[in-house]
Amino acid sequence: MNHDAMSFFQNISARLSTVRNCTKKPHCRREEEAQPQQPIALPKQSSTPPPLISSVAPPTQSVVNEKAASTPVVLPSRVQPTVSARWSGPEAEVPESAARPRRNRTPCPPVKHRGEKSEEELRQVSSIIMTQAQEPASKSVRTGAAASLVEAYRCVNSIRDTGEPPGERTDDVTNINGSGDNDDGGNTKQARAKLYENAVSEQVRRIQKMPKNTSPVNAKNHASLLPRQLPRFRDKITLILDLDETLVHSSLTSQSRHHDLVLDVRMENTSTTVYVAFRPFMREFLQAVAPLFEVIIFTASVSVYCNQLMDAIDTDNILGSLRLYREHCSILNGAYVKDLSLLGRDLDRVAIIDNSPVAYLFQQRNAIPIPSWFDDPGDNELQQLIPMLEILAAESEVYTVLDQYNAVLHLQQEQARQNSPHY
């Protein structure tokens, strides 16, 4: 065989070998795929728990569902079992390695001691259970006539009975011309009383021009929030009482503040300890208004907290069992509004005592404002409201008293504001 023939057969042999190798690889791959897959070794789980993150979705409906409103803060499911998800649970055990943040990971929060919670966590849980007004950084002391809300109505009665506002000195009165002579003191006194009475009358007229009801809801197309009025209350005015910062102040921390009651509020699988302080003269106030009015507790807090608190306060059930909660409020720009037109009562015979002006936004002429209370042991606002409420209970409708009361209150607050050094 010559050289050319041998070269030809060698090339043919090399090509056949190449073809056999190419057909063998897919066969081997199919054999490998037919074998069961081996488990993949998982990377060792880090003992460092991620930071606790919780959020409360803003309400989007006009009437809040009770179950949705009372949903506790849900913590991430990735939290290690050693970290307690209950506010009253044991101390969080964080291993030493947790103090060293891993690369490309969010550092974990510092180790917390037993019972210690961040302010953000406390605010979130507090907003779920109750409603609280913002406590001012510096307490302002109300002075003069504006120091007591009931002084407003006393002023009106004093003008009507004696012709002068209370507290006016009849001696050493400066006359209208500014001289110190007291020869014309009687005329000066009468002139000042007349000016004051005219100012009150003008403010009353302004209030009377305000609509009694600005609710966007037509009560005729809405079911009443309250049952039919019992026969024993038919001749009585309905008095709505707020709870937080009006009758009590509740907190999730005892700190050094005095508290009268400790509640264990349970919602689903979460238990929260709530420390409650009673506003001074609260019991005296409730005992005074109970026989005079049909009393309704209306709070923007959840029912499980309100019922437990009121059952402890009103052990003799002198106020009855009519209570309304957060789910009975209307939502306006994320704020809870207590729509009095939906109670099933005549608005002419309904009054509300609340520390939040937003609460009675739809029926401002039915309101009896009261300052928020946090911890002042010298507060006596509830006690001083009793005389005015006794007058109100005897009226056939609330606007005769409340328009006059709020007119004088507005004038006194305006005068106090002008006398303020920051004016």
Q: Which residues are catalytic?
A: 242, 244
For residue 165, the one-letter residue type is: P
Distance of CA 113 to the CA centre of its chain: 28
What's the CA gap between 227 and 325, in Å, rounded? Answer: 15
The upper half-sphere exposure of residue 198, i.e. CA atoms within 13 Å in the direction of its Cβ, equals 6
The upper half-sphere exposure of residue 31, i.e. CA atoms within 13 Å in the direction of its Cβ, equals 5
Nearest to 159 by CA among 193, 117, 210: 193
What's the CA gap between 48 and 50, in Å, rounded? Answer: 6
The upper half-sphere exposure of residue 90, i.e. CA atoms within 13 Å in the direction of its Cβ, equals 5
Three-state secondary structure of 357-402: CCCCCCCHHHEEECCCCCCCCCCCHHHHHHHHHHHHHCCCCCHHHH
The H-or-E segment that residue 241 falls in is strand 238-241
Phi/psi of residue 59, each to 5°? Answer: -65, 140
Residue for token pair 């005892």:
254
Nearest to 69 by CA among 396, 324, 423, 397: 324
List, in sequence order, the alpha helices (H) in 209-299: 282-289
**Residue partners of 378: CB distance under 8 A and separation at least 6:** 280
Nearest to 141 by CA among 366, 404, 421: 421
Residue for token pair 């309100």:
306
What's the CA gap between 365 and 409, in Å, rounded? Answer: 13
